A and B are shown apart, each in its own frame.
Chain A
Amino acid sequence: MTARVYVDADEAVEGIRDGSTVLVGGFGMAGMPVRLIDALIRQGAEDLTVVSNNAGNGDKGLAALLAKRRVRRLVCSFPRQADSYVFDGLYRAGEIELEVVPQGTLAERMRAAGAGIGAFFCPTGAGTMLAEGKETRVIDGRTHVLEYPIKGDVALIGAYRADRMGNLVYRKTARNFGPVMATAATTVIAQVREVVDTGRIDPEAVVTPGIYVDRVVQEADA
Chain B
Amino acid sequence: MNPDQPVAGARHERRPLDGDAMAALVARDIPRGAFVNLGIGRPTLVADHLAPDAAVVLHTENGMLNMGPAARGDEIDPDLTNAGKVPVTELPGAAYFHQADSFAMMRGGHLDICVLGAFQVSATGDLANWHTGASDAIPAVGGAMDLAVGAGQVFVMMTLFTKRGAPKLVPRCTYPLTGQACVNRVYSDLAVLDITPRGVEVRETFGIGVDELAGRLELPLMAAGS
Residues of A within 8 A of B (CB): 27-31, 53, 57, 77-81, 87-88, 91-92, 98, 100-108, 110-111, 122-130, 143, 160, 170-180, 207
- B46 contacts partner chain A, Cβ-Cβ < 8 Å: no
Residues from chain B with a CB closer than 8 A to the CB of A129 are 131, 176-177
Q: How far is the CB of B95 from chain A (nearest CB, A)?
A: 11
Residues from chain A with a CB closer than 8 A to the CB of B77 are 172
Residue of A nearest to B98 (CB): A179
B60-77: CB near A (< 8 Å → 1, else 0) gives: 111110000000000001
Residues from chain A with a CB closer than 8 A to the CB of B200 are none
Pair B100/A107 contact, Cβ less than 8 Å: yes
Pair A125/B145 contact, Cβ less than 8 Å: yes
Residues from chain A with a CB closer than 8 A to the CB of B64 are 172-173
For chain B, give the interface size range: 35 or more
B146-173: CB near A (< 8 Å → 1, else 0) gives: 1001100000000000000000000000
Residues from chain B with a CB closer than 8 A to the CB of A91 are 138
Residues from chain B with a CB closer than 8 A to the CB of A130 are 141, 145
Other-chain residue from A29, A31, A77, A179 in contact with B141 (beta carbon distance below 8 A): A77
Bound-complex Cα distance A88 to B63 (A): 26
- B85 contacts partner chain A, Cβ-Cβ < 8 Å: yes
- B29 contacts partner chain A, Cβ-Cβ < 8 Å: no
Residues from chain B with a CB closer than 8 A to the CB of A77 are 140-143
**How many cross-chain pairs have Cβ atoms below 8 Å apart between A and B?**
147
Residues from chain A with a CB closer than 8 A to the CB of B138 are 79-80, 87-88, 91-92, 98
- B103 contacts partner chain A, Cβ-Cβ < 8 Å: yes
A30, A92, A102, A180 pick with most chain B CB within 10 angstroms: A102
Residues from chain B with a CB closer than 8 A to the CB of A176 are 62-63, 98-99
Pull 5 A–B residue pairs with CB atoms less than 8 Å apart, ordered by A.
Answer: A91-B138, A105-B103, A107-B103, A128-B145, A128-B180
Q: How far is the CB of B164 from chain A (nearest CB, A)?
A: 23
Residue of B nearest to A110 (CB): B100
Bound-complex Cα distance A178 to B106 (A): 19
Q: How far is the CB of A152 from chain B (nearest CB, A)?
A: 15
- B188 contacts partner chain A, Cβ-Cβ < 8 Å: no
Q: How far is the CB of B55 from chain A (nearest CB, A)?
A: 22
Pair B96/A107 contact, Cβ less than 8 Å: no
